[in-house]
Amino acid sequence: HHRPIDRIPLWDAEGITEQAVRRWCREGFLPGYTVHDFMRFDPVEYCGLDTMPIPTFVPRVVEEDDEWQTTIDPYGFTVRTLKAEAVAPTIYYYVRGSMFNREDWEQMKRRYDPRDLRRYPRSWSPELLDYWRTTANPVGLRFEWGPGRSIKNGYMLGLEAFLEQLTDDPAFIHDIFEYWAEFIIELARPIVEAGVVDFVWISEDGMAYKNSTLVSPQMYATFWAPYVKRVTDFLRAHGIDVIGHYTSGNITPLIPSFMEAGINLFGPLEVAADVDAVALKKRFGRDILLIGNISRQALMDGPEAVEREFAAKVPELTQQGGYIPAIDDMVLPDISFESFERYVELVRAYTV
């Protein structure tokens, strides 16, 4: 880490919505291209491991009116979505979890078999491993922490029920996380042991909101850290030492706890939640790696605001090393093509 580079990469940390692209097609973006190809984003290879339940739950509509649609999703969650955004939703609410007690969890485990070959890419073969081993692109491994889609829906229990179980039945939560750690290790083992992975992202969206975290450092140390550390120790034993944690919100109070669990890369570092990449770099120095912290609000405000945001952060952070700029939240249609294009130009033109 922190080695000299000639330029900074152009990466997308949060994604670009279809709604934004539809707007951009009216403002100069050429239809028929992907944004990544059109803007020449630097390619990243991801080992496509499937951590969804197998079989998934059968998606279906259970209720709807003129404005909203309530569905069962592939994880078994009951989700309420604006009908106008049913294909690529940006506004949705989790109404109900997909398991409610230990008996449900024992049944759910059957859907999370790490040895199910359907979890690997269809091209899974020695040829694929050779490709990952020899490609010039960075190769990453990405997975959710916990069954379901992490804490924002309570690891299949629903958020409120999950938080209650932390005190009402802590052994239940320990069992979920211990099972998940072993699930990830066994699922990733063939790829990790092949020596093809450069970095890992652990996605756990919802660990924090604008003002602070959902759980305290002490709670994280008790319930999460022993099992996350089991995974990070496994990764480091096989030479993988860039291990990231993705969550939105103000994660600053939890960063020391994450680092003690073996995580050293953090993103997307939301500015609206008062996450300050410059301050984090000053505090943790070369022990921390960062990606993100370019405010989506700046892109909403226009090209001049983008230039100010870039100048305030990127020179200082890139000179220290261990930082990749990226927009800190999903790109929605409230960002113009002109603003996004200016951001891309700044990254492309910047030399270290």
Separation of alpha carbons 207 and 263, rounded Å: 15
346 token code pair: 């700044």
Sign of the C-alpha dihedral computed for residues 307, 311, 313 and 319 taken in this order: positive
What's the pLDDT score for residue 4? Answer: 80
What's the pLDDT score for residue 16? Answer: 94
What's the pLDDT score for residue 117? Answer: 96
What's the pLDDT score for residue 3? Answer: 81
Separation of alpha carbons 321 and 315, rounded Å: 10
Identify which of 201, 280, 291 has the alpha carbon closest to the alpha carbon of residue 242.
Answer: 201
What's the pLDDT score for residue 148? Answer: 84
Per cent of the chain over pLDDT 70 is: 98
In this prediction the pTM is 0.93
Separation of alpha carbons 242 and 265, rounded Å: 7
Q: Please answer whether residues 224 and 263 qualify as being in contact, where contact means their C-beta atoms are separated by less than 8 angstroms.
A: no
Cβ atoms within 10 Å, residue 231: 24
Q: Mean pLDDT in runs of 10 for the chain (352 residues)?
A: 86 91 94 92 95 96 92 93 70 86 96 97 97 97 89 88 94 97 98 98 90 93 98 98 95 97 97 97 97 98 98 95 96 96 96 80
Separation of alpha carbons 301 and 189, rounded Å: 45
How does DSSP assign 267-296, residue by residue?
Answer: E---GGGT--HHHHHHHHGGG-EEE--B-H
Q: What is the CA radius of gyration of the chain?
A: 21
CA distances from 225 to 116, 166, 233 (A): 27, 14, 12
Separation of alpha carbons 139 and 191, rounded Å: 11
Q: At what angle do helices 337-349 and 303-320 cross, to 10 degrees?
A: 30
Average pLDDT, the chain: 94
Domains of the chain from N-terminus onward:
18-53+99-349 (3.20.20.210), 58-97 (no CATH)
How does DSSP assign 79-120, residue by residue?
Answer: EEEEGGGSSS-SSEEEEE-S--SHHHHHHHHTT--TT-GGGS
Identify which of 254, 206, 261, 193 has the alpha carbon closest to the alpha carbon of residue 233.
Answer: 261
What's the pLDDT score for residue 86? Answer: 58
Q: Give the tens place of pLDDT for each residue, 154-208.
A: 899 998 999 999 999 999 999 999 999 999 999 999 999 999 999 999 999 889 9
198 token code pair: 């450069």
Residue 82 forms beta bridges with which residues? 68
67 token code pair: 């404005």
Q: C-alpha 331: how far from its chain's center?
A: 15
Pairing of strands 265-267, 60-64: unpaired
